[in-house]
A and B are shown apart, each in its own frame.
Chain A
Amino acid sequence: GAVVSQHPSRVICKSGTSVKIECRSLDFQATTMFWYRQFPKQSLMLMATSNEGSKATYEQGVEKDKFLINHASLTLSTLTVTSAHPEDSSFYICSARSLTGPSGNTIYFGEGSWLTVV
């Protein structure tokens, strides 16, 4: 299947600083990528939809100025958590939509990034 790479897999940052998480589609172009947040033993919560070359669409209740999303190319989307606080500590997961090839119109997930804010 298609591969989505997420980096870093784990990051610890100090309260008040910003941290960037990258999501790459390795073997397909993704015009649309999605960012999720997941708390322990809970389902995935969609934060925003990232479209290449345009502004991200945020879900209700998600602060766009705090969670900055950039989708500058067809294979890369980034999520920047600004002025991080301990309550931002969570598992962040991206996914990408493949439109072409044998995996056409299918959504694949990255391995996730554990963020700990201390």
Chain B
Amino acid sequence: GENVEQHPSTLSVQEGDSAVIKCTYSDSASNYFPWYKQELGKGPQLIIDIRSNVGEKKDQRIAVTLNKTAKHFSLHITETQPEDSAVYFCAASILSGGGNKLTFGTGTQLKVEL
């Protein structure tokens, strides 16, 4: 089955700096890679996703890159703000008619310091 590794487990940055979280996956058939932000005591919130037919996607301060050859994908947050502090999870999945089972990374605790 799919295995997703995520690094780092914790990340502290100064407000205004950039944050990068990296994930690797094992199953070359995976073609859908969402990123979720989870605040304490709440469910994960989808912040951005990318499909395997593109290499990069950007939404305001958030961007995701995908390297299918290396099976790497990364989340980039620019101009970080204190409200970006949360746990971020990457995930990988195979989009299909009856599937879509997400395999999650272990999470990254991001702390944005003033």
Contact = CB atoms under 8 A, between A and B. Distances in A.
B50 to A, nearest CB: 12
Interface in A1-46: 1, 4, 6, 32, 34, 42-44, 46
Interface residues of B, number: 21
Contacts of B89: 43-44
B101 interface: yes
A83 interface: no
Chain A interface size band reads 20 to 34
Given A43-B89, A112-B43, A107 B102 contact: yes
Nearest to A108: B46
Given A43-B106, A43-B107, A112 B41 contact: yes
A29 to B, nearest CB: 14
A46 to B, nearest CB: 7
A46 B44 CA distance: 14
Contacts of B49: 106
Contact of A97 (B41, B100, B104): B100
B43 A93 contact: yes
Contacts of A43: 89, 104-107
Interface in B91-112: 93, 95, 98, 100-102, 104-107
B52 interface: no
Given A106-B34, A107-B34, A112-B41, A44 B104 contact: yes
A109 interface: yes
21 contacts: A32-B98, A32-B100, A34-B102, A42-B106, A42-B107, A43-B105, A43-B106, A43-B107, A44-B89, A46-B102, A49-B101, A95-B102, A105-B32, A105-B95, A105-B100, A106-B49, A107-B93, A107-B102, A111-B42, A112-B41, A114-B41
Interface of B: 32, 34, 36, 41-46, 49, 89, 93, 95, 98, 100-102, 104-107
